[in-house]
Amino acid sequence: MFRRATGLLARRLMSSSGSRARPYSTDLPAAPTEDSTFVEAWKKVIPNIEPPKTPLSFMKPRPATPSSIPSKLTVNFVLPYASELSTKEVDMVIIPATTGQMGVLPGHVATIAELKPGVLSVHEGNEVKKYFISSGFAFIHANSYADIVAIEAVPVDQIDPSLVQKGLAEFTQKLSSASTDLEKAEAQIGVGVHSALNSALTG
Amino acid sequence: MASNAAAPFWRSAGMTYITYSNICANLVRNCLKEPYKTEALTREKVHFSVSKWTEGKPEKPTIRSDTPED
C-alpha cells in the first residue's frame, strides 16, 4: 500500500525538475515548511493516517527576501570553539576576501567569499571592532544576513608584534631555502600570514 | 565561466584546503600575546588513534596525542 506513495512522489519530482529550470534561491519566497503536493497525494490515498513529517517540516523556514532593503545587516560570526557574534545587527562589515577587502552593507547581493588571513572589521554606529582572522568563509544571504566562519579570530590588540617579526624573518628565510613544492608552499603560507599580521598591526 | 580557475599555490603544491587553513590558524596562534597564547595552544591539542584495517582485522593503532600519557 505504501509503495504507491513513493511512486507518486518520484513521478512528481521527475516532472517538476524536467519541465522548468530551478529558480535561484535569492528569488524564492519564504521556504514552505512542508511539501503540499506530497501531503495532498498522501491524503488522497491514505486519508486516515497522518502524512509522515519530512525533514522540511523540522527545519526553520528560510526567511523571505524582504522587498525593501533592511536598514541593518545581521551578522553571525562563529569559530569552532565559540560564537563571537550571534545575530548581531550592524551597519557594515569589511571582510578580508581573497579578492580583496570587501565591504558588506545591508542589501548586499548574495555572495560566498573565501577569506584570506586578514582583518575583519565590524562597524556599528561609531564603534569599530577589529578581529584578525586566520582564514575561513563568509556567506552573505539575500535577506541581509551574513554568516562568517573562521578557525581562529583574535582581536588585533592580542597580537604580539615581536613574535610577528620573528615569524616573518624565519619564513622568508625558509622560503629562499625551500626545496620541495610542499616546503615552498608552507613557507609561502607563513610569509603571507605574517605579512598580513604585520599590516593588521600597523594599518 | 571558467571551469578550471587558476588553483591557489597551496592546491597546486598538493595541499588541501583544510591543511592550509590549519597551518594558518597555527601560525596566528603562535603570534599571540602571553595569556592568550597559552589558552590558544590548549585549543590546538588533538588526541586520536588511527588504525589501518587489512583483511577485516585492525592492525596496531597509531596514537597521535598532545596530552601527556598517564
pLDDT digits (tens, 9 = 90+) for A81-117: 889 888 888 999 999 999 999 999 998 998 999 999 9
Q: Which amino acid is at A164?
A: V
With CB atoms and an 8 Å threshold, state whether A134 touches B28. yes
Q: What is the pLDDT, as a whole number, of residue B37?
A: 86
Concatenating the DSSP letter of every residue in A85-130 gives EEEEEESEEEEEETTEEEEE-TTPPPEEEEE-SEEEEEEETTEEEE
- What is the distance between the alpha carbons of residues A135 and A157, in angstroms, rounded to a whole number? 18
Q: B11 to chain A, minimum CA–CA distance in Å?
A: 9
CATH class of residue range B9-66: mainly alpha
Q: Which residue of A has its CA nearest to B11?
A: A185
Q: Contacts of residue A201 in chain B, CB cutoff 8 Å?
A: none
pLDDT tens for A102-160 read: 999 998 998 999 999 999 999 988 888 899 999 999 999 888 889 999 998 999 888 88
Q: Count contacts between A and B (CB, < 8 Å).
A: 76
- Mean pLDDT over B10-17 rounds to 86
**pLDDT confidence of A181, banded at 50, 70, 90?**
confident
Outline where A20-160 has alpha helix (H): 36-45, 55-58
CA-closest candidate to residue A171, choices A196, A141, A149, A142:
A196
* Phi and psi angles of residue A50, each rounded to the nearest 5 degrees, phi first: -65, 140
Amino acid (one-letter) located at A33: T
CA A58 to chain centre: 22
- Residues of A with Cβ-Cβ distance to B22 under 8 angstroms: 151
ipTM of the shown complex: 0.73
* CB contact (8 A) between residue B29 and residue A132: no
What is the domain partition of chain B in residue ranges? Answer: 9-66
Q: Could you report the per-residue pLDDT of A25-42, keeping only the tens digit for each? A: 555 566 666 678 888 888
Using a CB-CB cut-off of 8 Å, the residues of chain A touching B27 are 134, 167, 189-190, 193-194
Chain A contact present for B43, CB below 8 A = yes
- Tracing cell 519541465 back to the chain, one arrives at A19
Most B-contacting residue of A115, A135, A162 (CB-CB within 10 A), to test interface: A135
Q: What is the pLDDT of residues A192-203, one digit of tens each?
A: 889 888 888 887
| CA-based end-to-end distance of chain B | 56
Q: What are phi and psi of B47, to 5 degrees?
A: -150, 110
Q: Is B28 on the interface with A (CB under 8 A)?
A: yes
Q: Are the CB atoms for A74 and A146 separated by under 8 Å?
A: yes
Residue B30, Ramachandran bin (φ over 0: left; ψ between -120 and 50: alpha; else beta): alpha
pLDDT tens figures, B21-68? 988 888 888 888 888 888 888 877 778 888 888 888 888 887 777 665
